[in-house]
């Protein structure tokens, strides 16, 4: 599972001309689900994102989490995070999870964040979304946990 976190002053996602998710200060999370990802991995990535100290304290150091600053999270599914650009000119998406599995783990990820008391807004899974944001910093971080390789 891959989560790209962008620290934002504000962010929103629009589908068919309608705002479907909008936050003030917090994290915009672009979430990709890969083959082999599990509920355990979704919980681990969610916990890491919620507690990641990416917000400044009074001394200007990144020592505060989204919980500490009372921020929100806008989570947008993005299978293209598993795009493989190593060959040819068009990315391949063989490493992305199938839609049914990805949606289930995307929703579980959002639910886990809510359990920590963070306000979560979401995009619409598999929709053509227009995402806007005002970066803060800019600060962009990657949280990733790959599924363990199968042993035969």
- Residue 125 annotated to the active site: no
CB atoms within 10 A of CB 28: 27
- End-to-end CA distance of the chain, in Å? 22
- Residue 140 annotated to the active site: no
Instruction: Given the residues 6, 55, 79, 109, select the one marked as catalytic.
Output: 79
Instruction: Given the residues 6, 55, 78, 122, select the one marked as catalytic.
Output: 78
Instruction: Given the residues 6, 18, 55, 80, select the one marked as catalytic.
Output: 80
Contact 146, 2 (CB under 8 A): no
Cβ-based neighbours of 40, under 8 Å, separated by 6 or more? none
Catalytic sites, residue numbers:
78-80
């Amino acid at each position: 599972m891959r989560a790209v976190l962008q620290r934002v002053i504000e962010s929103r996602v629009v589908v068919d001309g309608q705002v479907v998710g909008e936050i003030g200060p917090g994290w915009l999370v672009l979430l990709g689900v890969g083959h082999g990802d599990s509920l355990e991995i979704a919980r681990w990535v969610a916990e890491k994102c919620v507690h990641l100290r990416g917000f400044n304290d009074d001394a200007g150091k990144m020592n505060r989490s989204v919980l500490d600053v009372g921020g929100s999270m806008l989570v947008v599914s993005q299978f293209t995070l598993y795009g493989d650009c190593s060959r040819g000119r068009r990315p391949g998406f063989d490493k992305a999870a199938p839609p049914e599995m990805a949606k289930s783990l995307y929703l579980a990820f959002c639910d886990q964040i809510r359990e920590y008391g963070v306000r979560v807004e979401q995009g619409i899974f598999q929709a053509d979304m227009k995402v806007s944001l005002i970066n803060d910093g800019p600060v962009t971080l990657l949280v990733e946990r790959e599924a363990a390789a199968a042993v035969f």
